[in-house]
Structure 1
Amino acid sequence: MLNNDRLLVQILLLGLLGASLWVLAPFWSALFWAAVLSFASWPLMRHLTRLLRGRQSLAAGLLTLGWTGLVAVPLVMLGFNLADHIRDITTLIKGFQVEGLPPAPSWLVGIPLVGERLLGIWQTIDQQGAAFFDSVRPYLGQLGNWLLARSAQIGGGMLELALSLILVFFFYRDGARLAAFAKSLLERLIGERAEHYLDLVAGTVQRVVNGVIGTAAAQAILAWIGFTIAGVPGALGLGLLTFGFSLIMIPPLVWGPAVAWLVWQGEIGMAVFLGVWGFFIISGVDNILKPYLISRGGNLPLVVVLLGVFGGILAFGFMGLFLGPTLLAVAYSLLSDWVAGKPSAAQAVSESSEVKPH
């Protein structure tokens, strides 16, 4: 017979849980990144806490300040730099509308097969001047609206990053208690296999973090080598910038403009070299090194890792880089246990609660 009081309590608890998730919904992304960041650097947190003789709050504050200087400050500077460049591009286009294009560069006509045609197009645009820009003005307006929308997204991302860095302090300070609570909750749900799945999730996330950071470091080094060979000024700074863009998987935003700059300077050979180097070496290493680092040390087949990484990105965005492999790892482990004939967690709990007959 159903216990009505117990059923009512369960319904109330589910309603309370749903309401809590609804309240937290606007902060899921910030909570997710704060959790990943704190988990990835937890060994550093433990070491710093030992050095500070157990003062967790001080260690958490110092690490949070470190992440702020390492991540937030460069991104804010990059945002202001992009805003300045957008303003410069707008001024440049307005100048073209009034004064026309500057003289064509001498190397333009020397491009094989298409040089003469490109020179003719350049001169035609210069002669038509205002009429040409009047015809493309609607498209420039659309481009401006697109840039404005992207700027709003960048601003929202900055706020989300700031919130993540605030939350990471609390994950550092209360990480041990949160981990114990998660373990107790999982043991309540699935019994003795809780620790196995906690280790599985933790190991998968750690390998993904190692893969992302290791791949970004490799791409930064390869980019620095390519920029140095091609003679691009500020090769070291561009290499560091490549590391940041590699974390969000868009390193072409660094080496692509460098190729365009080389073309503008008339260094066609070096531009071709850097374009090939960037496409096949800098960007190509992501498809080889990242899956290897993520699958290294685990018992997941490489195809599961690849599907988890790329499928997760398509399904959840950049968060899917961590969610995809983790979900597939847990699903693969559950299916492996079932195929091996091990009782499910629910069955194990049910059997342990049965009273044996005398």
Structure 2
Amino acid sequence: MESNESPHPQRMSNNPVVHYALQLLALSLLLVWCFMILQPFITPLVWASVLAIALYPAHEFLRKKLKNRNALSATIITILMLLMIIGPAVWLMVATVDEFKELGNAYKTGELHIPPPSEKVKTWPLIGSKVHSYWSEASTNLTGFVMKHQDEVKSVLLKLFDLLKSTGTGIAIFTLSIIISGFLLAYAQPAGDFMNKLLVRMIGPMGESITGSTALTVRNVAKGVLGVAVIQSILAGIGLVWAGVPFAGLWILVCLILAIVQIGILPVSIGVIIYIWGQSDTTTAILLTVWMGFVGIVDNILKPILLGKGAPAPMLVVFLGAIGGFMVSGFIGLFTGAIILTLGYKLVMSWVSPHPDDKPDNASAQTTT
């Protein structure tokens, strides 16, 4: 008796398409699982990669001076980064918190007194009379003023504390990123070879060019955006501390954030200049005004130079990529946006540029004639 069983299941089990589909499914599940495990570390890893790329030239210079001691060079750079960035950031946070504590204690004990406003405040355009009224009320009866406007005061204080909290979290993440970047620097050569092989495998011979463009773009953005922001905030801080502006540490932090997000330090400068003209002597006010104006101009001088120096794309492309990336992805978008737009620009230019193989053959052209 012949069997009624169909051979179809056996053919299905031996079908290579089914095998490939199962392998692809298993690989996809493995990649998704790996992503879920690494998801909490994605932000520190991306920042660490950016730092490692930006610091690699310094690492190479130091490694040669240390007779090719790769690990020692990476360790020294990591420690210096922690001291240069985390140290001042922690000092800034502690100083700001201490200032708020002193302010709170002075208010509780009744020792907090706000000086009365100068008559010059009334001459400020648009807001002068209103500011003078509120300021006078707070200087004569601070407790009554706080009780009368407690909702507004509470809202402002909550926003300030949220800012301090998010800043502390950012410092912790950045500390972890610096430590990870040290390991990446120690294994920079194998990591670079792996990325070259991966990109060549994915997109062909152009992969190595993309690796170089990515590294150069990251370094330019780090210097042109973050570097200029740090320089501006330090210079602004010097002026604020010299002029004796209250809560200078907090204003330096605000300057740094505004400079990074490309708003600039102008809002802080305007507020500080208005305050100093109303409360300090004319000489101090003039000098601080000139100094803050100079600090604001520094951004326009340094940024085009640093963003466009040796860039694989025009400065405008890198700048728009950094700003657009920030609007889409936050701080890390400063780098990812610039990289993606630069690579897109290079691909488009490669596509529209004439290729040697596209030129008509002279012999065939003459034959046709």
CA displacement at 1:81 relative to structure 2: 0.8
Q: Aligned match of 1:30 in 34, 37, 44?
A: 44
Unaligned runs of 5+ in 2: 1-14, 357-369
Structure ID, larger Rg: 2
CA displacement at 1:335 relative to structure 2: 1.5
Aligned to 1:248: 260
Task: Confirm or deny: 8 A CA contact 2:48 2:178 kept in the other structure.
Answer: yes
Deviates more, 1:161-170 or 1:322-331: 161-170
CA displacement at 1:40 relative to structure 2: 1.3
Query: What is the 5 A alignment of 1:48-197?
Result: 48-94=62-108, 98=110, 101-102=113-114, 104=116, 108-111=118-121, 113=123, 122-126=135-139, 130-197=143-210
Query: What is the 5 A alignment of 1:324-343?
Result: 324-340=337-353
- Please tell me whether residue 4 in structure 1 is matched to residue 14 in structure 2: no
Task: Confirm or deny: 8 A CA contact 1:35 1:171 kept in the other structure.
Answer: yes
Question: 3-state DSSP class of the match of 2:243?
Answer: coil
Distance (whole Å) between structure 1 residues aligned to residue 139 and residue 223 of structure 2: 52
CA displacement at 1:328 relative to structure 2: 0.4
Aligned to 1:346: none
Task: Confirm or deny: 8 A CA contact 2:217 2:312 kept in the other structure.
Answer: no
Task: Confirm or deny: 8 A CA contact 2:44 2:173 kept in the other structure.
Answer: yes
TM-score, scaled relative to structure 2:
0.75
Distance (whole Å) between structure 2 residues aligned to residue 223 and residue 100 of structure 1: 27
Q: Give the root-mean-square deviation of aligned CA atoms.
A: 3.7
Question: 3-state DSSP class of the match of 1:283?
Answer: helix
Instruction: Percent identity, please.
Output: 28
Deviates more, 1:324-333 or 1:50-59: 50-59
Deviates more, 1:55-64 or 1:2-11: 2-11
Task: Confirm or deny: 8 A CA contact 1:45 1:59 kept in the other structure.
Answer: yes
Superposed CA deviations along residues 153-173 of structure 1, whole A, max 9, x for unmatched, are 122112202211221121111
CA displacement at 1:79 relative to structure 2: 1.0
- Number of matched pairs: 332
User: For residue 96 of structure 2, what is the amino acid of its counterpart?
Assistant: L
Unaligned runs of 5+ in 1: 344-358
CA displacement at 1:308 relative to structure 2: 1.0
User: For residue 24 of structure 1, what is the amino acid of its counterpart?
Assistant: L
Q: 1:77 and 1:269, CA in 2 relative to 1: closer, same or farther beyond 3 A?
A: same
- Please tell me whether residue 298 in structure 1 is matched to residue 335 in structure 2: no
Q: 1:3 and 1:90, CA in 2 relative to 1: closer, same or farther beyond 3 A?
A: same
Question: 3-state DSSP class of the match of 1:3?
Answer: helix
TM-score, scaled relative to structure 1:
0.77
Aligned to 1:347: none
Aligned to 1:43: 57
Query: What is the 5 A alignment of 1:197-346?
Result: 197-212=210-225, 215-216=228-229, 219=232, 223=236, 227=239, 232=243, 245=256, 248=260, 251=265, 259=273, 262-263=276-277, 265-268=279-282, 270-271=284-285, 274-275=288-289, 278=292, 280-287=293-300, 289-340=302-353
Task: Confirm or deny: 8 A CA contact 2:321 2:339 kept in the other structure.
Answer: yes
Q: 1:301 and 1:41, CA in 2 relative to 1: closer, same or farther beyond 3 A?
A: closer
CA displacement at 1:331 relative to structure 2: 0.7
Q: 1:100 and 1:178, CA in 2 relative to 1: closer, same or farther beyond 3 A?
A: closer
CA displacement at 1:285 relative to structure 2: 3.7
Deviates more, 1:208-217 or 1:333-342: 208-217
User: For residue 109 of structure 1, what is the amino acid of its counterpart?
Assistant: E
Distance (whole Å) between structure 1 residues aligned to residue 115 and residue 52 of structure 2: 54
